[in-house]
Chains A and B, each alone.
Chain A
């Protein structure tokens, strides 16, 4: 086993295979495992059954499902791979893939989910290159020259040319005729995950100037980075910059989010977990947006809610869920729990009023803050500038709203898959496609073979007595 913190799955652009990931992999080093992929007809891969983007997505997901260890991973996709990657992310985040752990995406001059803007003459020229079979050395060089801002160094250039020439003419034609023209934006929808889009300033239709227009509706959290003196072949032209952005996105998402062990990730990915649940857990596992712009609350209200969240449901330092931002999103969506204390307005208004009342008297020291919380819990007036905020009725209503707030925070924390694992709950992995969708062993201390090892011992081990010595054997039995 590698000691890597996680995995990068790399989807190359037209004309390139898994080998196109190598310069990036070299630049990243041992910290992350980079898995380059051959899409159908590229690299060593045979052609797909048809020329749809969906066929490429199937192939990519099959490989990701096989290679994934259940731990966190980023999707890195270049050009044509970007269109494939959008659908890959959409399927993963809706649970329609047996994989878990997607933390974000780094897109390199990606082809958008909508029909790719492409000059007709350019399309004809490129189609002409494969009329008589694979690309000739001269055509491959022309293709390369057209896509770089300045020549690649010798070894890399040779490597890139070899890959382009290895591409099957059918897959080349299919992309230009069909795949690039396909509109998959409905199937992709909006992908609200951490994303960085890199593009070259010397690229044409998929360059830095075009990308925000093409993708900001698809990836609301996208950060766009333009690379000067760069064409379209980012994996070869700018591997160091690409690697740096990958590591940066990794650092901004994975190590700051609650950790879920690969063993639990594999269980979520498995067929035991229903598709919808897998998608819900995938989305809840995504790191929160540090730049979350509140929609139901004001920035000041969000700030005080974050401070309350830290005290009411304290999380380990460093790896946290932004409970306040998630509640803001829930309030904006209008989801509630089916009731509210009589006398309180609708949930969002009650939150605004309650947070404003607390903000007026919020003290600086943690001890005073806790004292204030106890005061609210007791239904005592908390004072403050608000007109009749001192009345018993208001204190009582504040107390009732505060109970709703505390409940919302606790539920939001528990609903995160990492919290479920921490609490020892694997009930999400029931009601799925397994032949026996529920539990067999129900007693204290025991678990079913499919359950994570930390949840008990297998019945057959009872004679041996449970303990750390069993871990290795259990891992073998459940693999």
Chain B
């Protein structure tokens, strides 16, 4: 994005707020604080990118992903890199799928709403009112441009400003299968523009080009990122964004309040003084920084409660060429399974139609289905005839699912993160239920054969918010229980995973935290 001519601040100047990270958590907050006249600086570990820097090539595209290695353990190790981690001005929104369902009120009351005997831990409630979050979500949808169907089958109140984007073949087939089974399904809400628009402070963004490579980064601005929405607005309001700046230290005064951050840029060390600090580096980098600095962890909850959404997929083989790499990849949604009537588990899941890029599919066949040899090659040959459906499913916290620091240090000298993740019985029950549902839908649509590909997605919960300071790292506003001028605005604060994908809710939370900081 264009950073030339932006306002800059001296390192010795005590700016009002430093924000670490420029993705869905950092950017909306940065914009709002700047627009209210605060002197704000964002530090982004990754580079600043121009639209031409995005490539549709899956081998090269990870330039927008956090590729410094994380170590992954447990029985169902979660994949990082392109799967869930952003890098660059725009953070995770550079690669996000732009799938923007709103959180369901029942998901925010997971603990009190569940029958509780499903497992040892039935999740945590959000210390935030659903209606309060929804007010912010509506603002976000308007700002970034969310397309979707009106009326929305599961929420009569809701309207979308733009009609939905085109359905591709997997969406058509999922719609057909659902209609034959009496399952409600409709066009998915997506942060993809339907029509060209002039984005304030950014410039022209084009309407959907039916690109299937949006996870690799997108050149035309059809997909909303913070780099084509909130960050230009932030810069216009006087924020400074420093790319290539990796924070590894936090300084405090005698009272324990944050006074500065220490970061590395181009091999040099810098210190930026600040009156308040917001961590917005996401579910891995934020707890890693806190564990490395030993801060804000009187509860011992930093790094705990790591959550990864169930993201199991089922693929069906059809007679015609589906070629689901064309078009918006997740053009159809069903929210009928947020609380399935026959559920034996806590929570539920959303369904989305799926088309994927070839290397991503190959990876899922190898890692998810364990294929090799002729069977792998045959499955790849069948890809063009295949349509997928996937879920975003609830994940409950578990004692051993957590992030700790390794002895090994990364290129910035910071200990690497070790994330241990094992899906529990509730996640397995959701996966099984979902796999059955999706198989039925594909068979109803005429699939000749189906294949289940297990997968998980997103990095949540590692600095969760809580009303009780002993149960979490920040309060409902995002403020540290321990350090009054330290805030967190990213998906590490999610008390429960929600069945909705996290991006939209995160942007709304960021605006809300900004308002609380200004209050």
The interface size of chain A toward B, counting residues with CB under 8 Å, comes to 49
In the complex, the answer to whether B85 meets A338 with C-beta atoms within 8 Å is yes
Of the candidate stretches B69-77, B231-239, B240-248, B486-494, the one touching chain A is B69-77
Contact among B66, B73, B323, B418 for A338, CB-based, below 8 A: B66
Residue ID in chain B nearest A281 by CB atoms: B57
Report the separation of the CA atoms of residues A341 and B418 in the bound assembly, to the nearest whole angstrom.
9
Report the separation of the CA atoms of residues A265 and B200 in the bound assembly, to the nearest whole angstrom.
41
Contact among B327, B365, B370 for A439, CB-based, below 8 A: B327
Q: Is B105 an interface residue (CB 8 A)?
A: no
In the complex, the answer to whether B77 meets A341 with C-beta atoms within 8 Å is yes
Report the separation of the CA atoms of residues A407 and B77 in the bound assembly, to the nearest whole angstrom.
15
A320–chain B nearest beta-carbon distance, Å: 13
Encoded as 1 (CB less than 8 Å from any A CB) or 0, chain B from 355 to 397 comes to 0011100110111001011101100110110000000000000
Chain B residue numbers with a CB within 8 Å of A427 are 56, 212-213, 325-326, 357-358
In the complex, the answer to whether A339 meets B210 with C-beta atoms within 8 Å is no
Q: Is B81 an interface residue (CB 8 A)?
A: yes
In the complex, the answer to whether A342 meets B418 with C-beta atoms within 8 Å is yes
Residue ID in chain A nearest B167 by CB atoms: A442
In the complex, the answer to whether B210 meets A338 with C-beta atoms within 8 Å is no
Report the separation of the CA atoms of residues A373 and B320 in the bound assembly, to the nearest whole angstrom.
34
| Interface Cβ pair total, 8 Å cutoff | 180
In the complex, the answer to whether B376 meets A313 with C-beta atoms within 8 Å is yes
Report the separation of the CA atoms of residues A336 and B69 in the bound assembly, to the nearest whole angstrom.
8
In the complex, the answer to whether B320 meets A338 with C-beta atoms within 8 Å is no
In the complex, the answer to whether A428 meets B70 with C-beta atoms within 8 Å is no
In the complex, the answer to whether A439 meets B210 with C-beta atoms within 8 Å is yes
Report the separation of the CA atoms of residues A443 and B331 in the bound assembly, to the nearest whole angstrom.
12
Residue ID in chain B nearest A411 by CB atoms: B359
Interface set, chain A 341-363, CB cutoff 8 A to B: 341-343, 346
Chain B residues touching A, range: 35 or more
Of the candidate stretches B152-160, B168-176, B462-470, the one touching chain A is B168-176
A276–chain B nearest beta-carbon distance, Å: 5
Encoded as 1 (CB less than 8 Å from any A CB) or 0, chain B from 77 to 94 comes to 101111101000000000
Residue ID in chain B nearest A308 by CB atoms: B372
In the complex, the answer to whether B210 meets A431 with C-beta atoms within 8 Å is no
Q: Is A377 an interface residue (CB 8 A)?
A: yes
Interface set, chain A 302-339, CB cutoff 8 A to B: 311-314, 336-339
Contact among B69, B71, B372 for A373, CB-based, below 8 A: B372
Report the separation of the CA atoms of residues A277 and B58 in the bound assembly, to the nearest whole angstrom.
10
In the complex, the answer to whether A314 meets B374 with C-beta atoms within 8 Å is yes
Chain A residue numbers with a CB within 8 Å of B377 are 313-314
In the complex, the answer to whether A342 meets B359 with C-beta atoms within 8 Å is no
In the complex, the answer to whether A342 meets B373 with C-beta atoms within 8 Å is no
A403–chain B nearest beta-carbon distance, Å: 6
Contact among A338, A342, A415, A430 for B77, CB-based, below 8 A: A342
Binding site for B on A (CB under 8 A): 274, 276-277, 280, 311-314, 336-343, 346, 370, 373, 377, 400, 403, 406-407, 410-411, 413-415, 420, 422-425, 427-428, 430-431, 436-440, 442-445, 455-456
6 more A-B residue pairs beyond the given contacts A342-B420, A424-B321, A438-B208, with a C-beta to C-beta distance below 8 A: A314-B373, A336-B81, A342-B71, A411-B363, A430-B211, A439-B326
Closest 9 CB pairs of A and B: A338-B81, A438-B209, A342-B73, A424-B384, A339-B80, A445-B320, A442-B168, A442-B327, A444-B169
